Amino acid sequence: MESPDPRNLVPPGRTAQFSAFVAAVLMVALLVSANGLVSFVSALPDLPAAFWTMAVLAVACDARPFLPPGRGQSSSAVFPSTCFTFAILLGWGLGPAVAVQAVAVVASGVRMRHAPWRTAFNAGQYACSLAAAYAITRLGPGGIYDGAALGWTDITAIGGAGVAWFAVNYGLVTTAVRLRFGERWWPNAWHGLPFELLSTGSLLLLAPVLVTAARASAALVPLVLVPLFAVYRMARLTVEQHQLAALDPLTGLPNRKALLAEVNEQVHRHAERAARGESGTRLALLLIDLDRFKNVNDALGHAVGDRLLVEVSARLTDAVASPQMVARLGGDEFAIVMTGITDVSEARSLADQVVEALAEPVPLDGLPLDVGGSIGIALFPDHGEDFATLMRHADVAMYDAKHRNDTVAVYTAESDHNSAERLGLLADLRRVLEVGASGRADGSGSAEATTVRGGDGAVLSTSAPLEEPAGIRWWSRRRRRPRLLHHDDELIARIITGADPTVRRAARDGEPDAAAAGGAVWSGTGGGGQPDLGGGGADPAAPTVGDRPGAEPGTDAGEIMMYYQPQVAIATGEVVGVEALLRWRHPRRGMVDPEELIRVAEQSAVMRLLTRRVVDDVVEQLAKWSAAGLGLRAALNVSVRDLHTGEIADQIADRLTRYGVAPERLQLEITEGALMADPRRVLTTITRLHRIGVGIALDDFGTGYSSLQHLRRLPLSEVKVDRSFVLGMTEDADDAAIVRSTIELAKALGLRVVAEGVEDERTWRMLHAAGCDAAQGWFYARPMPAEELVAWLARYRPLRPLGGHDEAEIPRRHAR
């Protein structure tokens, strides 16, 4: 059954005010046209043939008006009677024009199935418009109706009459829409104004020409049908172009532009439903991305891919019932707008239907092609209140479904790795790294320009120093003389002074007395008074980035720094190395969670710049420790993006040579996830690093589902047992068994084993009994800045385990 025209209905809750407005318009129309209609009745026998010709053409043309499809609710159809009735107004006065217009309105109302109240309102609106135009013509000196020659004042009055007619008519229509449909009236009215000016304005301008022709002969009046047909064709071509611009040329489905208009319209409608307390106030936007479509294009060509898209569009159209919209956004992306739903389960049900429709292979040229898809769902108003937000959140959900190897996913904030907050965090991270790079170049006095290009194609320009003293604070905006502080412990003061050549030189040349009195410590601060990477002590009084002379206000993005956690040989208790851990103190958020920091950076070119910063800093710190006689090995984590090219191997080789650090003092930790992402490319990079002499450790072993042959094929020197197993080994026999098996496997392959997350004595003793080589965790020490680590080393006394541990007490978790 065909649904009724919504323009014939008045939304509940607005009936009273809208009815009052319609009644007022009709009352004004009767008042302003009553005298003219009375005069018209008495003058009927005297009206010439030209008048009757125009009247017949006005009614006949309005019996088939041109209604532009898809126009906004403030727009009206193109009624050719406007030309004839305005000409009658100019030639014979207000009464005849109102009478003919009323008959034409009734004819068009019957043809277009208007409600009686709507037909009456249209007649009243035209009567008011004609009355306003008539009043303007009366301002002229006269002569318009008596057949005399027209002067410039008369022509000006006619132009003003046309403007008055349009202003009153369009104003009444948009006011009616405002009263019926709420706040949407102004965008729709403004959007429809150019079309109305072009179409209605053309008809009004034809009226004076028509009057002039009628004065000469009534036979000339029908000739106006030719320019009227031109106006009709112009309007139709304009609409056709508008429709073509909103259609996808390949599938014939609505495109992104049409989807934008539909979602914006439906958002307003659903918001009004919610305001009236009606049901079905949610809207769902489903974003569909086909799986393996690129493989079809690559293997069979784009022609077959296009045929596949046409078939998919047909299946989607069949699966989605009217009035829901199916659109193609481009490539292999489609969208569905589902309106009038109450909860997300309805959207999921539709998504399941779509999945089922796409599950059947598509036969093309005798070859069945599988075309599954991933679907992301975003709801109005739960996940956004405008098209842009809903579209972005549906896209996030769709990629979440892909990453989980699922078919359907609903948007959740936890899956949004590119939210506005995270994008702002990424911008801050980029800024703090770039400030650090420029400060390092300035501090060294010379810099070698390099370019970092990330996997997303973005280019980051930075500077890498050719020669740089180890103690220069390379992220400062300007070079400063290190400040010398005293430490109460003479041994610690000497160790720290000897670890930093710059401080040692300043203590020797600038303040010998201070150095002799107890040693000099270079104190620098990061954001929030935290120690810097070079081993400075905390100094809350030191200025922050935003407070330093020359710093631009509002540009402080905090400070990146390295913390170090000791790795201790379990059997001897000796500190054999440290793990370098990245920390970022943000000026507003405080310490940023390291996992969030990596998530933010990993998807952009900033990850490459961050890795360069970490490598530079750790190698520089190793050089300082070597100068102080500390032979520690430092391990640092690298991203899978870093291992896809040989850039990191070149950088590490350059830094080791520059700072004079032995390669075996540095170790890279790679996760099983990095191996699984692209084993061939990762193997090439770590093989180069192994040849340089850098150690390779497999981090988080047991969590990445990698094949055991990686332990055999890769040039590994160490395996790190993931903390998730170590933390539970004292309470769960299964975890303890996993840890022991990992240790035995690594030992059989000649690899060192390091356990993460050792936080109590019992775990420490169990690891010793299992034969684990080294451990790290809060049982020994928390991660700390370089300066605190040196102080901790001075205080540390090796702790050696004695005896074993009764593992029979460990309970086994319930069967899973």
Reference 620, options 475, 429, 448; nearest CA is 475
Single-letter residue type at 403: H
The alpha carbon dihedral of 784, 787, 789, 791 has a sign of negative
Task: Quote the CA–CA distance of 725 and 759 in Å, as a whole number.
Answer: 12
Structure tokens at 786: 């370089």
DSSP string, 47-114: --HHHHHHHHHHHHHHTS-B--TT--TT---B-THHHHHHHHHHHH-HHHHHHHHHHHHHHHHHHHT-
Task: Quote the CA–CA distance of 279 and 281 in Å, as a whole number.
Answer: 6
Structure tokens at 426: 């990424």
Single-letter residue type at 408: V
Do the beta carbons of residue 523 and residue 497 sit within 8 Å? no
Name the CA dihedral angle for 383, 386, 391, 393, rounded to a multiple of 10 degrees. Answer: -20
466 in helix, strand or coil? coil
Residue written as token pair 């009273």:
16
CA 533 to chain CA centroid, Å, is 34
Per-residue CA distances from 144 to 47, 363, 428 (Å): 16, 74, 72
Task: Quote the CA–CA distance of 220 and 353 in Å, as a whole number.
Answer: 63
Do the beta carbons of residue 356 and residue 379 sit within 8 Å? no
326 in helix, strand or coil? strand
Q: φ, ψ for residue 579 (rounded to 5)?
A: -105, 125
Name the CA dihedral angle for 184, 188, 190, 195, rounded to a multiple of 10 degrees. Answer: -170
Task: Quote the CA–CA distance of 370 and 592 in Å, as a whole number.
Answer: 44
Do the beta carbons of residue 749 and residue 712 sit within 8 Å? yes
Within 10 angstroms of residue 363's Cβ, the number of other Cβ atoms is 10
Paired with 155 in beta bridges are none
Single-letter residue type at 705: Y
Task: Quote the CA–CA distance of 589 and 425 in Å, as a whole number.
Answer: 10
CA 252 to chain CA centroid, Å, is 28
Task: Quote the CA–CA distance of 562 and 278 in Å, as a whole number.
Answer: 57
What angle do the packed helices 647-659 and 606-627 form, to 10 degrees? 20
Task: Quote the CA–CA distance of 508 and 516 in Å, as a whole number.
Answer: 9
Q: Residues 200-218, buried b or exposed e (16+ Cβ, 10 A)? A: bebbbebbbebbebbeeeb
Per annotation, catalytic residue among 468, 756, 787, 788: 756
Residues 6+ apart with CB under 8 A from 13: 276
Per-residue CA distances from 9 to 5, 118, 434 (Å): 7, 9, 61
Residues 6+ apart with CB under 8 A from 661: 619, 622, 623, 626, 655
Does 272 participate in catalysis according to the annotation?
no
DSSP string, 220-231: GGGGGHHHHHHH
Long-range contacts of 591-599 (CB under 8 A, 24+ apart): 592/425, 596/422, 596/425, 597/429, 598/639, 599/417, 599/422
Catalytic positions are: 756
